[in-house]
Amino acid sequence: MEKMLQEIKELKKEKNAVILAHYYANDSVQEAADYIGDSYYLAKIAKESDADIIVFCGVLFMGESAKILNPDKTVLMPDLTADCPMAHMADIEKIKKMRENYEDLAVVCYINSTAELKRYSDVCVTSANAVKIVKSLPNKNIFFIPDENLGRYVKELVPEKNVILNDGYCHVHADMTASEVKMLKEKYPGALVTAHPECRQEVLDLADFIGSTSGIINFVSGSDNNEFIVCTECGVGYELRRKNPDKKFYFVGKSCCDNMKKNTLEKLIHVLKTGDNEVTVDDDKRTESLVSLDRMLELAK
Ligand code: 13P
Ligand code: SF4
């Protein structure tokens, strides 16, 4: 592994490339990255970067967002088939119908969505800023796509709005159950429960803290507690352990995202060497989806 990390370092310098990795990527890939973070942080970093090449170790909507924000840069991904199934779980026709039904509708699009969906939306959000952004909108009626669980979480925290839910979901988080969390609680009674808002309501009901991946990492790092049940994707364990070597973490069930794990050091070296796997977004789609992404960056400040 050391040899591969060294090779990546040299290639990065030679190509003026920067490596961004989501907290869900493999440990070795996070080790090779210049920036590791949640979706919101990585979108901001992508926009601020002055490298010629951005290598995005995440899933396709993340690489696409980086390209939309940086049309003049080359955005590469170690594996272009690393896609988030939830990113496709909303329907343009349904959005159009909803707009007909509500005159003042704002379509709020979780960043975990295709560029095509972003194009039909008014503003993007991530799990780190969804509540803040929905609160700040002048619209009363909100159609939240694609994730039902994050939408429901926002609806509960912003009761003054009429948040209409869509039926998309993340299979990794939606597969976690209250009985699994309760079993872990019985085994480790001193552990605090942390959960990503993509989890089902029955899991969120058991949580001591609910937040995005970076929210969970900050909560754990600032807590005096020593044990945590973590209801999110297993890759977060890398940063949790790095920041908190003396604390213990218990993950729920099969909590790994196969798509995120498609990012490997071998593929990272390959794209750095060859320039393969370039992310492209056609011009019309790019300029139209940029509006909702830029609005997110503005409102989340
Ligand atoms: P974050 O918004 O916490 O980065 O989560 C992204 C994601 O894919 C959750 O499954
Ligand atoms: Fe998509 Fe879920 Fe994987 Fe996140 S964990 S990338 S929401 S499938």
> Taking the domains of the chain in order of start, what are their residue ranges?
2-83+260-280, 86-169+287-299, 176-251
The two domains 2-83+260-280 and 176-251 share their CATH topology (first three levels equal): yes
d(CA 192, CA 211): 14
d(CA 75, CA 278): 6
Please answer whether residues 58 and 46 qualify as being in contact, where contact means their C-beta atoms are separated by less than 8 angstroms: no
Centre of ligand 2 from the C-alpha of residue 80, in Å: 15
When the candidates are 1.10.150.20, 3.40.50.10800, 3.20.20.70, 3.20.20.80, the CATH number that belongs to 86-169+287-299 is: 3.40.50.10800
Centre of ligand 2 from the C-alpha of residue 231, in Å: 13
**Is the CB of 128 inside a 6 Å radius of any atom of ligand 2?**
no
Q: Ligand 2: which atom is nearest the Cα of residue 59? A: 6
**Is the CB of 236 inside a 6 Å radius of any atom of ligand 2?**
no
Centre of ligand 1 from the C-alpha of residue 20, in Å: 14
Q: Would you say domain 176-251 falls under CATH 3.40.50.10800?
A: yes
**Is the CB of 172 inside a 6 Å radius of any atom of ligand 2?**
yes
Peptide bond before residue 245 is cis, with ω within 30 degrees of 0: no
Sequential pLDDT tens for the chain (301 residues): 899 999 999 999 999 999 999 999 999 999 999 999 998 899 889 888 889 999 999 999 999 999 999 999 999 999 999 999 999 999 999 999 999 999 999 999 999 999 999 999 999 999 999 999 999 999 999 999 999 999 999 999 999 999 999 999 999 999 999 999 999 999 999 999 999 999 999 999 999 999 999 999 999 999 999 999 999 999 999 999 999 999 999 999 889 999 999 999 999 999 999 999 999 999 999 999 999 999 999 999 8
Centre of ligand 1 from the C-alpha of residue 5, in Å: 26
d(CA 192, CA 215): 14
CATH number for the domain formed by residue range(s) 2-83+260-280: 3.40.50.10800
Token pair, residue 131, equals 């509540």
